[in-house]
Amino acid sequence: MKIERIEIRRIELPFVAPFETSGWRELANHSLIVRLQAEGAEGWGEAPVGAGPWYNEETQATAWVMARQILAPMLLEASIARPEDVDTVFTRVRGNRMARAGFEFAAWDLFGRLEGRSLSAMLGGTRAQVDVGVSVGVQPDIEALLRVVSAYVEAGYRRVKLKIKPGWDIEPTRAVRETWPNLRLQVDANSIYSLDQADQLAQLDAFDLLLIEQPLAHDDIVDHAKLQRRLRTPICLDESIVSPEHARWAIELQACGVINIKPSRVGGLTAARQIHAMCAEAGIPVWCGGMLETGIGRAANVALASLPNFSLPGDISASERYFQRDVVRSPFVLNSDSTLSVPTAPGTGAEVDEAFLDSVTLEKVDLTR
Ligand code: OSB
Ligand code: MG
């Protein structure tokens, strides 16, 4: 197949509330949306980059340049027989994995729509519903935190993740654990600690957490292995795992007990599926993380989370947790058992609301063969 037309846009879709991590604040989704057209069909993908290089090195500005000047021209030149071929087309490209993933997701969607198969079926998904939780940003004080968590518990979420940082770690976690003794609880530090803070992190062992996510540097594996030996709670790597090779290194070094797979972080679903298989083999549970995606990127995450070794709840919340209005006519709704239903329609199943998407588009380009 030859891709005939590629549309790329950068958008700004405000969140219902600012999202604060250990090191930065997100006020809106600043992703790139990719649309591929071929053989009378189309596919959509989202590169969920942030406004600034705070999570990884990519930003909307870098992804925009990469997509227009490098990735789209490469893909228009190529001939692809399966979605996995997009991963191969881009192997020469160093880094820039979220920008690459935007195109790769769109190719899966395109092939799914052409073949009449759901993305979950294409990937080898085995579940019709996926367990999900909610990621709670840093709050001004513990009272506010308990109010926010309480609203999510009321809404039906049975797994909560707290963003932590020095000065906002032990006490907030203790307060949530004491208020909800049976809640599935985990924390995420987004790379803010160093190994010499191991004793402080070990205090989190008291709260029966599912995992402690990415305590150390975004590109570290070695110190995480040292830290893991000093903690009872499993370490979960997020930022550090940017490819299947990185997952293998982390497993070999015993740097973590769990891996968070974000398909966008690793360049797409092809690499995500390889990491999933490698972890299944090694007995490492995985779960699907999120990047505050619109309904376009979220649909790819939900399909991926339907694979068998996704045995912990994902950071894939209902659309209304993020946006007043999503760019799709098929928003995700939380089921009463803290799950989302996996779409069964061809491709991702996302039905893009083009008029609304246009209204949140800052800039758009069209490239053709
Ligand atoms: O580290 O998992 C993270 C959001 C943006 C960037 C990084 C992270 C997150 C989240 C939110 O924790 C996950 C979501 O609900 O999409
Ligand atoms: Mg994380």
CA–CA gap between residue 314 and residue 293 (Å, rounded) = 13
Tell me how many degrees the CA angle 299-305-306 measures, rounded to the nearest 5: 100
> Does ligand 1 come within 6 angstroms of the Cβ of 239?
no
Q: Strand, coil or helix: what is 236?
A: strand
Question: Mean pLDDT for the chain?
Answer: 98
Q: Which one of 211, 216, 291 would you pick to mutate in the ligand 1 pocket, going by the greatest count of ligand atoms within 8 A of its CB?
A: 291
Please give the distance, rounded to the nearest whole angstrom, from the Cα atom of residue 134 to the centre of ligand 2: 12
Closest C-alpha residue for ligand 1 atom 12? 135
In tens, the pLDDT along 307-316 reads 999 999 999 9
Q: Out of 2, 161, 163, 364, which one is annotated catalytic?
A: 163
Q: Taking Cα atoms as reference points, which of 45, 56, 60, 53 lies closest to residue 7?
A: 45
Write the pLDDT tens digit of every residue in 246-261.
999 999 999 999 999 9
Output DSSP code: residue 191.
T
**Cα(289) to centroid of ligand 1, in Å?**
7
At 94-128, the pLDDT tens digits run 999 999 999 999 999 999 999 999 999 999 999 99
Percentage of the chain beyond pLDDT 70 is 100
CB 227 within 8 A of CB 250: no
Residue nearest to atom 9 of ligand 1 (CA): 291
Domain locations in the chain as residue ranges: 5-116+350-368, 121-341
How far apart are the CA of 365 and the centre of ligand 2, in A? Answer: 31
List helix spans (H) across the chain.
60-66, 72-77, 84-89, 97-115, 119-123, 142-155, 170-179, 198-202, 222-228, 244-252, 269-282, 295-305, 354-359
Q: Which letter does DSSP use for residue 337 in this model?
A: T
Cβ of 59 closer than 6 Å to ligand 1, yes or no, is no
Q: How far apart are CA 361 and CA 12, in angstroms?
A: 7
Which residue has the least CA distance to atom 7 on ligand 1?
291
Ligand nearest to the CA of 313: 1
Residue nearest atom 13 of ligand 1, based on CA coordinates = 290
User: Helix or strand or coil: residue 160?
Assistant: strand
Residue 238 Cβ contacting ligand 1 at under 6 Å: yes
Residue 292 CA: nearest ligand 1 atom is 16
The residue among 153, 208, 162 whose CA lies nearest residue 187 is 162
Ligand 1, atom 1: closest residue by C-alpha: 190
pLDDT-based confidence at residue 186 (cuts at 50, 70, 90): very high
In angstroms, what is the span from residue 36 Cα to ligand 1's centroid?
27
Is residue 264 within 6 Å of ligand 1 at its C-beta? no
Q: How confident is the model at residue 330 (pLDDT cuts 50, 70, 90)?
A: confident
Rg of the chain, C-alpha, whole Å? 19
Contacts 24+ apart (CB under 8 A), 65-74: 66/93, 66/96, 66/99, 67/8, 67/32, 67/34, 67/99, 67/102, 67/103, 68/8, 68/365, 68/367, 71/96, 71/99, 71/100, 71/103, 72/6, 72/8, 72/103, 72/367, 73/367
Average pLDDT, stretch 275-291? 98
pLDDT in tens, 3-51: 999 999 999 999 999 999 999 999 999 999 999 999 999 999 999 999 9
> Does residue 62 have a pLDDT over 90?
yes
244 vs 87: CA distance, rounded Å: 13
- Any ligand 1 atom below 6 A from CB of 291: yes
The hierarchical CATH code for the domain 5-116+350-368 is 3.30.390.10
Phi/psi at 239 (5° precision): -50, -40
Which among 58, 165, 216, 292 is the best mutation to test ligand 1's pocket, defined by most ligand atoms within 8 Å of the CB? 292
Active site residue 163: yes
What's the whole-number mean pLDDT along residues 201-208? 98
Name the CATH architecture for the domain at 121-341. Answer: Alpha-Beta Barrel (3.20)
Q: 234: which 2 tokens?
A: 């499993």
